[in-house]
């Protein structure tokens, strides 16, 4: 999409009992608009509803993917750190191992 801008929507006011809306404008090619209009029509939805829902879904997926990647990197680093720098064995761990061996006959 060539460009996008955010600007307040002057027609949406709090006097209508709704929260003030923001306006999102973007330039699209004729082919892009035709494609989007066709997809919206096939789903029986307005162009605005189709675009907003699609963009919101894509944004949510991008955020979830980022969070999963960040978690994976953090977990991997913690795992490698635990392997390279193991905590010293303490009395609590010794007692846990002893109870485990008693219960499992190992």
Separation CA 89–CA 99 (nearest Å):
15
By percentage, how much of the chain surpasses pLDDT 90? 66
Residue 6 has phi, psi (to 5 degrees) of -110, 130
Separation CA 51–CA 58 (nearest Å):
11
Q: What is the pLDDT of residues 37-84, one digit of tens each?
A: 999 999 999 999 999 999 999 999 999 999 988 888 889 999 999 999
By percentage, how much of the chain surpasses pLDDT 70? 82
Q: By C-alpha distance, which of 35, 57, 36 is closest to 47?
A: 36
Predicted confidence band at 18 (pLDDT cuts at 50, 70, 90)?
low
Q: By C-alpha distance, which of 89, 18, 20 is closest to 9?
A: 20
pTM, rounded to two decimals:
0.53
The dihedral sign for the CA sequence 95, 99, 104, 105: positive
């Amino acid at each position: 999409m060539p460009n996008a801008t955010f600007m307040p929507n002057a027609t949406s006011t709090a006097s209508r009992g709704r929260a003030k809306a923001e306006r999102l404008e973007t330039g699209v090619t004729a082919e892009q608009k035709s494609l989007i209009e066709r997809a919206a029509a096939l789903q029986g939805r307005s162009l605005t509803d189709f675009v907003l829902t699609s963009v919101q879904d894509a944004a949510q997926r991008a955020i979830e993917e980022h969070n999963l990647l960040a978690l994976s990197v953090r977990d991997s680093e913690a795992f490698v750190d635990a392997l390279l720098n193991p905590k010293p064995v303490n009395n609590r761990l010794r007692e846990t191992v002893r109870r485990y061996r008693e219960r499992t006959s190992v």
